[in-house]
Each structure stands twice: as C-alpha cells, then as structure tokens.
A and B are shown apart, each in its own frame.
Chain A
Amino acid sequence: GESVGLHLPTLSVQEGDNSIINCAYSNSASDYFIWYKQESGKGPQFIIDIRSNMDKRQGQRVTVLLNKTVKHLSLQIAATQPGDSAVYFCAENIGDSSYKLIFGSGTRLLVRP
C-alpha cells in the first residue's frame, strides 16, 4: 500500500454521535472487502466484511457500504463510544489466486467524551 507518512487522517466525533469512515480502494477487480480496527499496541481486529455482490451489510452498531462505481467503501458506526477510539483500516482482496489483502493507510477515530 501507499504510505501517508506519520500523520494519519483523523476523525473526531462526540460520544453518542454517528461516525463515518471512508476508504477509496484501488482495484476494480477486488471482490471482497474487510474493515479492521486497531487499538493502540494491539493487532488489527476484524470488524465486518462485505462481498462485491452486495452494497450494504450491517453488523452490531456498524454498517459497511460499498459503491463499486466509484470504488468507495465506508464504515458507519452508530452511537460512537469511547471504546471505538482506534485506527480503522479497510482492506481489499483482488479475488484472483492471490492470497494477498491490500490495506489502506488507515483513519484514526477519536471519540470526545
């Protein structure tokens, strides 16, 4: 993936508000997408995934939207809580015989009490 250096994009939201984190993916052949959450000092944790034959998928307090026309993925978090503060990464799988995920550079979510 491309690097953005030391400064991650940051989204600051008030506790209780909804959060929307965006991701532009690179390959129109990608057929599977994942959102990961990474808390400080920990490994990435799976949140939710979506296949390319869907445009929306809901989980508990999270929704992923996929717009294949513009190669855009978003993660919506409802009623954001302090425990949601973390860095969020999107990842795409091209869907060929490759076993590789391509990770975005991440967005830091800060939740204000």
Chain B
Amino acid sequence: NAGVTQTPKFQVLKTGQSMTLQCAQDMNHNSMYWYRQDPGMGLRLIYYSASEGTTDKGEVPNGYNVSRLNKREFSLRLESAAPSQTSVYFCASSSRDRGRPDTQYFGPGTRLTVL
C-alpha cells in the first residue's frame, strides 16, 4: 500500500494564480483532511471530509475550496493564491470506524510558495 499520496511535491505560484492540490489514499479510509503547516508551527486544519460526499470547514478555510471526488481522493483548490498561503500542505486520512480511536495518517506534503 502506498498510504496517502500527494501531488505535486513542490509548486511556485504568482499572486492571483489558481491551482489544485491532489490527494489520494489506498487504505479504504472514510475520512480525509487537509492541513497547512507554517514554519515552526503545528498543523492547522483547513477542511475535512468525514465521509464520501461531505465536506466541512476546519480552523482556517478562507481562500480554499475542497472536493471529495470519491472515497479515495480529496483535492484542495486555491482559486486566487496569496503570499499568505505560502506553506506546506498535508493531506491525511483516517478510518473513522465506529467505536474505534481515529488515527490520522499523513501524506508527504506539498510545499507551496506564492510570490
């Protein structure tokens, strides 16, 4: 199993450009998440999808949109990139089985720079 995969690994954008970050998991997990991590800081939740067909805002959703394409894939879109969105973006997934603790497993990250 590859686990959680993310593309691209690196991206440089100009202010105002748009792009979509892709995430896929092969663990048959129900829930998927997008986080951002700024230098020297912990992870902040942008959006999450508890199950296929649902999405909800996290702590820092402004400037982002998401799509849960199917059970495997969860994409994050920046419609008009801003320098404040320069960060490392991590996708995660978890099984969210009823009655079981919910461990999230992370992808390798996308390093995004907005000039």
Instruction: Give B87 Cβ to nearest chain A Cβ, in Å.
Output: 13
Which of chain A's residues has its CB closest to B6's CB? A43
Residue from B38, B42, B90, B104 having most chain A Cβ neighbours under 10 A = B42
Instruction: Give B40 Cβ to nearest chain A Cβ, in Å.
Output: 4
- Residues of A contacting B94 in the complex (Cβ-Cβ under 8 angstroms): 99
Q: Which of A51, A100, A105 contacts B45 (CB 8 A)?
A: A100
State in angstroms the CA–CA spacing of A3 and B94 once bound together: 25
State in angstroms the CA–CA spacing of A89 and B90 once bound together: 15
B105 at interface (Cβ–Cβ under 8 A)? yes
Count, A-B residue pairs, CB within 8 A: 65
When the two chains form their complex, are residues A8 and B107 in contact, meaning their CB atoms are under 8 A apart? no
Given known contacts A44-B90, A99-B31, A1 and B44 CB-to-CB distance under 8 angstroms: yes
**Number of A residues, CB within 8 Å of B:** 28
When the two chains form their complex, are residues B45 and A3 in contact, meaning their CB atoms are under 8 A apart? no
Given known contacts A1-B42, A42-B109, A99 and B103 CB-to-CB distance under 8 angstroms: no
Instruction: Give B89 Cβ to nearest chain A Cβ, in Å.
Output: 10
Which of chain A's residues has its CB closest to B32's CB? A99
Interface residues as binary, B11-39 with A (CB distance below 8 Å gives 1, 0 otherwise): 00000000000000000000101000011
- Chain A residues in the interface with B (C-beta under 8 A): 1, 3-8, 32, 34, 36, 41-46, 49, 51, 89, 91, 93, 99-101, 103-106
- Chain B residues in the interface with A (C-beta under 8 A): 4, 31, 33, 38-45, 48, 50, 56, 58, 90, 94, 96, 101-109
